[in-house]
Amino acid sequence: MKKTFDDLYKAFEDRFRGSRELVKDRLKIYLPLLAQVPRQAEGPTLAIDLGCGRGEWLEILAEAGFDATGVDTNARMAQEATDHGLKIELQDAIDYLGGRPNNSVAVISAFHMVEHVPTDYLIRLLDECNRVLTDDGLLILETPNPENISVGTHTFHLDPTHKRPLPPDLLEFLVGQAEFAETAILRLNGAPMIDAGPMERSIHLMFEVARDYACLARKHLVEGPNALAAFVESASQMVPTDTRQIKQWLRSADDEVVDISGGVKAMMTSTALQLQQLTDNLAAQSDMMRTGNIALTNTVASLGKQLKDIIKDRAVAARDTEIERLRHHLAEEEITAREQSFLKDAVIEERDAEIARLSQSMAALAEQVEQLSALTDAFKNSTSWKLAAPIRAMKYLYRTALERPKYNSRDLAAPSPAWTLAPGANTRLLMHHGLLWLRLRPRLAASVRRAVRLAPPIERRLLAFARARSGLIIIDKDWMLDPDPVAFRAWSKLLMTGKSK
């Protein structure tokens, strides 16, 4: 769908003028002036906003107690204002004012409207405003401020419906020509002044301060605190084209530059002198350092030689000390060796004396052994020893018969089979063997018989054994030892095999 010009301009205003909240916040600066406007004793106090647009100022007028009406030729703008509950007349401004009676409206305003109309239209519009306003009514005409370089050269020309910029002096002149007795220029809607250097303040003033201005007017002059000039003095921003102030700042900047330049020159002169002095001092110090370097080199060489000599002397001293220590150690070792030699000689002498003493003792013992051997031989050759031989043999045989012989597995030769039997079998074999042995020795048997008869218990046991178990040799009370030939052969066989009954 193709957009109409009204739609296009509505979109342009939304983008470049700002939001409703932002515009209303800017317009609140006029509230003190609205408070000075007298209200009607009877009926509503009327207010008309020419070129009302979206109706932000109409809302402020209504909140301040005025019966406000907006006039605009843009149907799209008028529709948005109507949607917010505002009263809008879609009509030309002069035509609308022409239908109003004289002295019937307390406030007439036009925000960013007069720059859209030709000069002759503006002159006729101002005449109608003077006719319709009450004697103590208020006229507010706000428009872009071409004193601001950024506005005059750039932002004013963004709106294609703008005719030409209106300098504040021109608009105030035209309002005065429309027979408004009191006029004032309020500069506003710019950035506040900054605390900076003269150059930066000058640029900020010309490009950032007072982007808009308002021409305020009354039909009759009011003096005192309610005068328009008093309000402007308290609320207006500085004039961007205040060349006197800008020149003063720039002159102060020039003075500062001159002062700084003079200070820099003086400082440079002083610095040059200081540099010359430093150069001279450095040259003198360089000569001193060169001389000192030579002396230091010689000193280092001398110290190096002395150090080598000291190291050499210390090495010789250390070697002499070590030699002396070794000599002392050798002397101590020699003394120790001599002492040990003396001790060894003493020990040897003691051992020799002990050996001599032991030799004497051994000689005495040998003599005693010879004496004991002679006594032993004499004893063994005596009749009593010989008579007791059978008894000793019987004792040995008896003990052997009753005890199991001990056998060590480490012995090279195993015992004969006859001696590996049980104690009872050994006893029988020994008894058999002993009786046969006595049978072959009649004289010894007679001696044994006499000896056994001296011990009746032993004799009874021998006789009981022969009768009960022997079967080989018959022993009677007269000790008849005649063996049975058959039994003798059987006994011999048993004796050879190591078995017994």
- Could you read off the pLDDT of 206-242 as tens digits, one per residue? 888 889 999 999 999 988 888 999 999 999 988 877 7
- Residue 36 has a pLDDT of 94
Task: Give the mean model confidence (pLDDT) for residues 326-333.
Answer: 88
Q: Tell me the average pLDDT of the chain.
A: 82
Q: Pick the more confident residue, 368 or 393.
A: 368
Distance CA 389, CA 395 (A): 10
Total tally of structural domains belonging to the chain: 1
Residue 256 in domain: no
Distance CA 316, CA 461 (A): 107
Domain of 193 in residue numbering reads as 3-240
- Could you read off the pLDDT of 286-296 as tens digits, one per residue? 888 888 889 88
Residue 140 in domain: yes
Within 10 angstroms of residue 27's Cβ, the number of other Cβ atoms is 20
Kindly give, in sequence order, each residue whose CB lies less than 8 Å from that of residue 404, ignoring residues fewer than 6 positions away: 422, 423, 426
What tokens does 200 get? 């930066």
DSSP secondary-structure letter at 467? I
| Phi, psi of 412, rounded to the nearest 5 degrees | -70, -40
Residue 304 in domain: no
Residue 487 in domain: no
Residue 281 in domain: no
Task: Give the mean model confidence (pLDDT) for residues 102-116.
Answer: 96
Within 10 angstroms of residue 277's Cβ, the number of other Cβ atoms is 10
DSSP string, 274-315: HHHHHHHHHHHHHHHHHHHHHHHHHHHHHHHHHHHHHHHHHH
- In 3D space, the residue among 195, 190, 235 whose CA is nearest the CA of residue 208 turns out to be 190
Residue 138 in domain: yes
Confidence label for 113 from pLDDT (cuts 50, 70 and 90): very high
Residue 445 in domain: no
* CATH at residue 85: 3.40.50.150
In the sheet that holds 88-90, the strands lie side by side as 88-90, 67-72, 46-50, 105-111, 133-144, 212-218, 182-188
Kindly give, in sequence order, each residue whose CB lies less than 8 Å from that of residue 189, ignoring residues fewer than 6 positions away: 26, 210, 211, 212
Residue 196 in domain: yes
- Could you read off the pLDDT of 149-171 as tens digits, one per residue? 999 899 899 999 999 999 999 99
Lowest-pLDDT choice from 105-109, 111-115, 347-351: 347-351
Residue 452 above 50 pLDDT? yes
